């Protein structure tokens, strides 16, 4: 039977050998994780600097560096756990074998997970979307706030977070890749001179491009494409403006405001929906006598009965 002194001696002996190695492994894993984080942060700054300030390249670098950081962190933790188990006297060979068999079973049984990982890998490799992009995934619009190999996370304008398994993403529409565009259908009344209206629109676009607050976000001047449609109540003129990514709504709202104010000042009508009935020459409208006029005529006759009787006698 072991005495207290024997137990302490065994514990101190273990602490000076395996325990010390475990402590070194834990400290080394912690330092390694911190060093990797610092190195990846430095790498992100270097790569961002080499992009020349391009917003698109910066988003791509941040997305890839964030993914590498997660993989490095998980890998460091797994290696540290395996070494600690070995120092505790656990035979890790069965664990490694079981992990291999489990990985094989996972490949057959968890096909959706494997599909998610492969889809996420190709989405990152092909640079389809990045963190910070505004996209439409399977009909849901939002900003990409996180990307993993398995899932993509969107946050919509209302603040709702949507999580999509990468393997279930059937359609991707990126509204902020390389450049963005804002398109407006301007409706004016049929009585307006469309050439004059288009000239006014070009002038509004030129003033907007000359505004220092907005010119930094405009890549191309306002383009007036011309008369695009004849609506029920208006002639539709299509215009568009090209901006840097994520700024199309900021510039577009200001453009709409200036169009409304300028049209009001110049008396250009933006019509509301209405209907005009035309009977045609073959079917002229019937003459309608208002009851109010008939009543007024009757009152006049009642006021002068004498004259009426004289007229009858004569």
Beta bridge partners of 152: 147, 164
**More confident site: 48 or 148:** 148
Reported as a single tens digit per residue, the pLDDT across 124-135 is 777 788 888 999
Reported as a single tens digit per residue, the pLDDT across 150-201 is 889 999 999 999 999 988 898 899 998 889 999 999 999 999 999 999 999 9
pLDDT-derived band at 106, boundaries 50, 70, 90 = low
Is-contact 152 120, C-beta < 8 A?
Answer: yes
Q: Left if phi > 0, otherwise alpha if psi is -120 to 50, otherwise beta: which for 292?
A: alpha
Q: What is the pTM of this model?
A: 0.58
Could you count the other beta carbons within 10 Å of the beta carbon of residue 291?
A: 7
pLDDT-derived band at 26, boundaries 50, 70, 90 = confident
Give residues with Cβ within 8 angstroms of 271, minimum separation 6. Answer: 187, 188, 189, 233, 234
What are the structural domain ranges in the chain?
7-90, 130-174, 179-304
pLDDT of residue 265: 95
Tell me which residue has tokens 């409706």.
187
**What is the CATH architecture of 179-304?**
2-Layer Sandwich (3.30)
- The candidate with the shortest Cα–Cα distance to 298, out of 311, 313, 308, is 308
Kindly report the CATH number that applies to the domain delimited by 130-174: 2.30.30.60
pLDDT of residue 78: 79
pLDDT of residue 299: 60
């Amino acid at each position: 039977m072991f005495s207290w002194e024997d137990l302490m001696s065994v514990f101190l002996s273990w602490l000076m050998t395996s325990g010390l190695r475990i402590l070194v492994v834990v400290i080394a894993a912690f330092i390694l994780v911190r060093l990797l984080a610092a190195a990846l942060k430095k790498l992100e700054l270097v790569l961002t600097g080499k992009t020349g300030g391009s917003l698109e390249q910066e988003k791509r670098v941040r997305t890839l560096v964030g993914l590498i950081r997660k993989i490095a962190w998980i890998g460091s933790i797994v290696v540290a756990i395996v070494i600690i188990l070995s120092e505790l006297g656990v035979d890790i060979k069965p664990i490694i074998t079981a992990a291999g068999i489990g990985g094989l079973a996972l490949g057959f049984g968890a096909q959706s997970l494997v599909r998610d990982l492969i889809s996420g890998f190709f989405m990152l490799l092909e640079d389809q979307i990045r963190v910070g992009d505004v996209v439409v995934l399977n009909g849901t619009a939002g900003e990409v706030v996180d990307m993993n190999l398995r899932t993509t996370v969107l946050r919509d304008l209302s603040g709702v977070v949507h999580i999509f398994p990468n393997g279930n993403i059937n359609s991707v529409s990126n509204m902020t890749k390389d450049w963005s565009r804002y398109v407006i259908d301007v409706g004016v009344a049929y009585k307006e001179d469309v050439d004059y209206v288009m000239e006014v629109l070009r002038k509004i676009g030129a003033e907007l491009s000359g505004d220092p607050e907005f010119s930094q976000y405009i890549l191309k001047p306002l383009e007036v494409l011309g008369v695009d449609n004849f609506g029920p109540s208006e002639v539709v003129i299509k215009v568009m403006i090209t901006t840097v990514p994520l700024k199309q709504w900021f510039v577009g709202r200001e453009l709409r405001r200036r169009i409304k104010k300028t049209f009001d000042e110049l008396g250009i009508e933006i019509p509301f929906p209405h209907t005009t009935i035309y009977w045609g020459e073959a079917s002229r409208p019937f003459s309608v006598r208002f009851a109010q006029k008939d009543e007024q005529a009757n009152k006049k006759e009642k006021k002068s009965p004498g004259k009426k009787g004289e007229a009858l006698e004569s």
